[in-house]
Structure 1
Amino acid sequence: MYEYQGMGYLKNLLRKKRDRVDLRYKYYEMKNVVRDLALTAGNKLGRFDAVLGWCPKAVDSLSDRLIFKGWKDDLFNIESIFRMNNADVFFDSAIISALIGGCSFIYVSLDEEGFPRLEVIDGRDATGIVDPVTNLLREGYAVLERDPKTGHPTTEAYFQTGLTTIISRGEIREIPNAAPAPLLVPVIYRPDAKRPLGHSRISRASMSILRGAARTVKRSEVSAEFYSFPQKYVVGMSGEDIETVDNWKAAISKFLMIEKDDISGDKPTIGQFQQASMSPFSEQLRTFASLFAGENGLTLDDLGFVSDNPSSAEAIKASHETLRLTARKAQRTFGTCFLNVGFVASCLRDEKSYLRRQFYLTTPVWEPIFEPDAATLSAIGDGAIKLNQAVPGYFNTDNLPALTGLDPSSLPTSGMETGDD
C-alpha cells in the first residue's frame, strides 16, 4: 500500500527542480547569458551578448519529426478525446515541453458538458511520484495559475487516486473521480530507473558547447573591429609633436603630413600593425558546431554550415541516423504516455474505473520520421510487390502507410477494373 508523501513534500520537490527546468527554457528561448572568461576584453564591453539558436534547433529538429497520427485498435474511442482537445496543438505542445524539461504533465478534468479536457503543464509547474510499472503518478502537484506580477501561485492542485484537491486563494475544493490513478499524467522523454521523470534534450554537454561557441562569436566581433581598422603607430616623434597632432584626425585622415624634427632633422617613422585574421574564429566556431551536432544527432548543414553539394534524400537520412534512432525511442516512450492520458480520460468520461491492462491492444500510430520522396516510394513499391509474390498479402493497406506516410485511397473500387470479359 502506497503511503502519500503529502502536498508539502511535492512543493519542496518542485522548488528544487524548477531552477533546472528554467535554465533549459532560457537556452531554448535564447535568453541565456554567457559568462565571459574575462581574459582579454574583461567587462569593458558592457552588455554585449552573443546569441546562437542551436539549442532550439536541437529540440525542434526532433519534435518536428514526431508527428502523432492516431490510434490502432481503439476499443475505447480515445481518439475522440484527443480530437476534441485540439490534437494538432496538444501533441506538439506536450512533446516540446517534455523535450525541454525532461517531462511535461497533462491535467485531465471535465468541462461544463462533462467531456474530458486536457491541459498541458510544463515541468516548471508540476511534479509527482512516478509508479515505475505503469508510468502513471502515485500522487502529484501542479500550479494551475500564477500571479502575472509576482509569479506566486494563486491556484494549486494536489492529485491523489480518486481525489483532486484544488486550492484557490485560500478556498479548498475537493473533487472526487472514478479514475484508478491521479488526474495528472506525465509525458516523459527518455526515462530510466534512476530518473523516472526523464532527461532533457538540452543536455549539460550541449549547454557547455553552446557557451564556448557564443564566446567565440563574441571574440570574433571584437576582433572584427581591429580587422576593419588596423591599428597604426608612429615612432620617433618628440613631445611637442605629440601635442600638436590630433589623435582622432590622425586616425581618420587619408593623408597625414608630418614635418622633420628641427633639431635632429629626422622624421618620425609611421607603421601599421599586422591585420588581424578572422580565420581562427571561423575554424573554432566550426569545431564547436561539429561537437554540438555530434551531441544531438544533427549535421553541420542543420547548424548553418551549408555544404557545397546538396544532399539527396537518402544521403540526408543516412547522415541523420542518430536522430532517427532518437526519434524512434521517443515515439515508443511518448506513445505509452499518451495512452496513459487516454486511459485516465476514458475513466473520467465513462465514470468507470477501467483496468490499465484493458488498453493493451490499443497502440499509437506515428507518421514516418523522414517523409519519403519519389525514389523511396518507388523502391518501397518494388519491394512490396516482390514480398507479396513470395508471401501473398504480406503488405497491404494496414502496414504500408507506416512506411510511406500515405493514407489508403478512399476512391470507390467499382468500375476501376480494366479489360473485357
Structure 2
Amino acid sequence: MNELKGIAYLKRKLATVRPRVLMRYKQYAMKHYDPPVGLTIPPQIRDRYRAVLGWNAKGVDSLADRLVFREFGNDDFNVNEIFKQNNPDVFFDSAVLSALIGSCCFVYVSSADDSVRLQVIEASNATGIIDPITGLLTEGYAVLQRDNDTDSPVLEAYFTPDETWYYPKGGEPYSIANPVGVPLLVPVIHRPDAVRPFGRSRITRSGMYYQLYAKRTLERADITAEFYSYPQKYILGMDPDAEQMDTWKATVSSLLRIDKDDEGGHPVVGQFTTASMSPFTEQLKTAAAGFAGEMGLTLDDLGFASDNPASVEAIKASHENLRLAGRKAQRSFGSGLLNVAYVSACLRDGFHYLRKQFVNTTVKWEPLFEADANTLTLIGDGAIKLNQALPGYVTGETIRDLTGVAGNPSAVPAESEAASDE
C-alpha cells in the first residue's frame, strides 16, 4: 500500500485548482468579469455597455440535458435501490452538471439510519489522490460545509481506506471507522486521460475566448448604436456672434430655422455619415460559428435561426460532434457512477467486496436524441429484418436502448410470415 500524503498536502492541492474551477462556475453563471480591452473606447464608457452572454452555459446545458441516467443493468448487488433512496432525479443531474463544469465532481458516501446517503461535492471543494487503474481514490479531502459570509471551511473531512476524519471549525477532530477499505469519497470524471486524470471541463479555453470575442463585439455595437440612432450634425459658416443653439433641440427637432446674416449669407448644415451595423453582425456570426464548432452545436442553438426548420434526422446529422461528445461523456461518467455504486454497496453491507465482482454491472443511459415517428419506423423495419436472419437477436430491451421508449419488457419479436406459413 502506498504511503498516504496527508491532509496538509491535499489542502495545498485543492488551493491550486480551486480558482480555476470557481472561474468556470462564474462563466457558467454569466458572472465572470472580463477586463475591458480596446484602443478606441474609454474603459468608463465600455463599463456602461458591458455585455452578458450565456454561450458557455448553453454549451454545458446542451450536453448535460441529454445525459439522462436510466438504471444499472445486471444489478446483482441491488444498487439501484440505493440510488432510488437518494433523490435520483436531482442526484444524477447534479453530478453530471458539476462534472461538466469543473471537469469532475466527487460523491461523498455516508451512512445514517441504516441507509446510504450520497452527496455531490463540486471540484472546488474536494480533491484526492486517484488510482489510475480503478478510478477510485487512495485518499481524499473535502470541505463539507463553508461559511456563507467568509467562505471559510466550517467542516472538513479527510478520507482514508480505514477511517474518515472530521475537522469541525472550533471543535476537536474525530474519526469514524471505514469498513469499506476504500475512501468514502468517489470521483466522477469527465473525459479523463493519462495527462489529466481528473478530466477536462466542458468550458474550454477556446470556448471562453469566442464568448469574450462576441461580448466585445456586442459592446462595440451597443456604443456605435448610440451614434447610429442620433447622427452627429455640423454647421459651417456660422457667425461667431450668433446666438448659441441648444444641442438637444438641434438633435431631436424636425425643422431648424437659421436666418441669413446682413450680407445675405447663410451657414451650411450637414450630417456626418453614420457607422454601419453590418460589420458587427458579421463579427458576431463569426464568433458564434467558432463557438458552435468548439461545442458541437449549430448556429440555430445560439439564436441564429435558419430559414427552414430541420427534421429530427437533420438535427442529428448537424449535431454529430455533440453526439460523439455525449457518448464519450456517458462512458466517462458510467465508470465513475459504477464506482459510486461499488463503494455504496460495500458500506451498506459492511463488507469489502472485490472490485472485479462488479464488472458485469452496466450503466444504462437514455438515448441522446429522442426518437420520432420516422425513427421508430426505421428501427422497427431493421429489427424485423435482423430477427428474420437471427431469430430473437433484437429484444425489447434492445429497442428501448435505441429509442428510449419503455414498452412491455416481456414482449418477443413476432415471427415472420414465412415462418408462420411453415
TM-score (norm 1): 0.95
Q: Distance in 1 between matches of 2:146 and 2:114?
A: 26
Instruction: Tell me by how many angstroms 1:44 deviates.
Output: 2.9
| Contact 2:139 2:159 survives alignment (8 Å) | yes
Q: Report the counterpart of residue 298 of structure 2 in structure 1.
A: 299
Instruction: Tell me by how many angstroms 1:409 deviates.
Output: 1.7
1:19 to 2:36 alignment:
no
Q: Report the counterpart of residue 201 of structure 1 in structure 2.
A: 202
Instruction: Tell me by how many angstroms 1:250 deviates.
Output: 1.9
After superposition, the C-alpha distances for 1:176-216 in whole angstroms (9 at most, x for unaligned) are 11112100000000001111111000000000110010010
After superposition, the C-alpha distances for 1:325-358 in whole angstroms (9 at most, x for unaligned) are 0100110111110010010011111000111001
Give the letter for the 1:71 counterpart: F
Q: Report the counterpart of residue 162 of structure 2 in structure 1.
A: 162
Q: How does 1:11-410 map to 2 (within 5 A)?
A: 11-45=11-45, 46-111=47-112, 113-169=113-169, 170-241=171-242, 243-262=243-262, 264-409=263-408
Instruction: Tell me by how many angstroms 1:410 deviates.
Output: 6.3
Instruction: Tell me by how many angstroms 1:47 deviates.
Output: 4.0
Which consecutive residues of structure 1, in runs of 5 or more, have no partner in the other structure?
414-421
| Contact 1:34 1:214 survives alignment (8 Å) | no
| Contact 2:165 2:175 survives alignment (8 Å) | yes
Q: Report the counterpart of residue 416 of structure 2 in structure 1.
A: none
- 2:127 alignment partner, SS class: strand
TM-score (norm 2): 0.95
Runs of 4+ in 1 over 4 A off after TM superposition: 410-413
Instruction: Tell me by how many angstroms 1:411 deviates.
Output: 8.8
After superposition, the C-alpha distances for 1:126-174 in whole angstroms (9 at most, x for unaligned) are 0111100000011110000111111100100001112100011232110
Give the letter for the 2:51 counterpart: A
Q: 1:411 to 1:192 in 2, by over 3 A?
A: closer
Give the letter for the 2:140 counterpart: G
- Cα RMSD for the two superposed structures: 1.5
Q: 1:91 to 1:255 in 2, by over 3 A?
A: same
| Contact 2:25 2:101 survives alignment (8 Å) | yes
Q: Structure 1 vs Structure 2: percent identity of aligned residues? A: 55
Which consecutive residues of structure 2, in runs of 5 or more, have no partner in the other structure?
413-422
- Report how many aligned residue pairs link the two structures: 411
Q: Distance in 2 between matches of 1:47 and 1:186?
A: 42
Q: Distance in 2 between matches of 1:76 and 1:412?
A: 26
Q: Distance in 2 between matches of 1:23 and 1:244?
A: 53
| Contact 2:140 2:158 survives alignment (8 Å) | yes
Give the letter for the 2:297 counterpart: L
Q: Distance in 1 between matches of 2:173 and 2:334?
A: 35
After superposition, the C-alpha distances for 1:340-399 in whole angstroms (9 at most, x for unaligned) are 001001111100011100100000111011111000000000010011101111101232
Q: Distance in 1 between matches of 2:204 and 2:278?
A: 29
Instruction: Tell me by how many angstroms 1:38 deviates.
Output: 3.1
Q: Report the counterpart of residue 417 of structure 1 in structure 2.
A: none
Q: Distance in 1 between matches of 2:109 and 2:50?
A: 41
Q: Distance in 2 between matches of 1:412 and 1:253?
A: 78
- 1:399 alignment partner, SS class: helix
Instruction: Tell me by how many angstroms 1:251 deviates.
Output: 2.1
After superposition, the C-alpha distances for 1:92-119 in whole angstroms (9 at most, x for unaligned) are 00000000000000000011x1211000
| Contact 1:191 1:197 survives alignment (8 Å) | yes
